Chain A
Amino acid sequence: AQTVTQSQPEMSVQEAETVTLSCTYDTSENNYYLFWYKQPPSRQMILVIRQEAYKQQNATENRFSVNFQKAAKSFSLKISDSQLGDTAMYFCAFMKAGTALIFGKGTTLSVSS
């Protein structure tokens, strides 16, 4: 069975700084997808970024980028130029093709001014 581990329950960062959230996963699959979802206080689940395992190039979406290390089964999220609106719970998630998402326990990120 697949598992997703987020080892940082809470993180804090100042506005405009950079922060990296960690995620590791365990799977015997070769074809899968990885995601970071953001859940602000409104509790809406918002897709931040996604990565296909077969792609070596790390995904980037504006201020958000990932460091995908397939051999190490690591998938970290880097947030550059942090903003107050980035304050949220961040979930790392794994998906095998055609199946449901499996989430990690989440990391609460607080951005302060």
Chain B
Amino acid sequence: AAGVIQSPRHLIKEKRETATLKCYPIPRHDTVYWYQQGPGQDPQFLISFYEKMQSDKGSIPDRFSAQQFSDYHSELNMSSLELGDSALYFCASSLIGGYTIYFGEGSWLTVV
């Protein structure tokens, strides 16, 4: 079965640079979530989209933005990167009203 696809899987950026992560949800899923997981921490919810509109917002820094496109894929844009942004970024998808969220394999961001 198709899963959530994230790209790139690994990314190395320097401080103050910009990074973009992409997410392709499971076909027919209409809701996308972004999570950030720092070393040794639990995943923290950043933002979600339903039908291309922002549906919920968590602890997303102002330097970060995201959107969902007409084909339902989503992109997380991170600017003015800081060392503390180094983390594993998960995208997840679900059907609205559904009660199971499926995760991609994550994108590793290292800021040097």
Contacts and interface: CB of A to CB of B under 8 A. Distances in A.
Q: Do A and B bind each other?
A: yes
Interface of A: 33, 35, 37, 42-45, 47, 50, 52, 91, 95, 97-106
Given A44-B106, A91-B42, A106-B42, A100 B99 contact: no
A97 B100 CA distance: 10
25 contacts: A35-B100, A37-B103, A42-B105, A43-B105, A43-B106, A45-B43, A45-B90, A45-B92, A45-B106, A50-B99, A91-B43, A95-B99, A95-B101, A97-B97, A97-B99, A99-B56, A100-B48, A100-B56, A100-B101, A101-B33, A101-B101, A102-B45, A103-B42, A105-B42, A106-B42
**Range class of the B interface residue count:** 20 to 34
Contacts of A50: 99-100
Contacts of B8: none
B109 to A, nearest CB: 13
A98 B102 CA distance: 14
A52 B101 CA distance: 14
A98 B43 contact: no
A100 B58 contact: yes
A43 B88 contact: yes
Nearest to B33: A100
Of listed A44, A45, A100, residue having the most chain B CB within 10 A? A100
A100 B106 contact: no
Given A103-B42, A105-B42, A98 B105 contact: no
B12 interface: no
B53 interface: no
A100 B45 contact: yes
A99 B90 CA distance: 16
A1 to B, nearest CB: 11
B68 to A, nearest CB: 14
B112 interface: no
A52 B58 contact: no
A99 B97 CA distance: 9
Contacts of A99: 56
A92 to B, nearest CB: 10
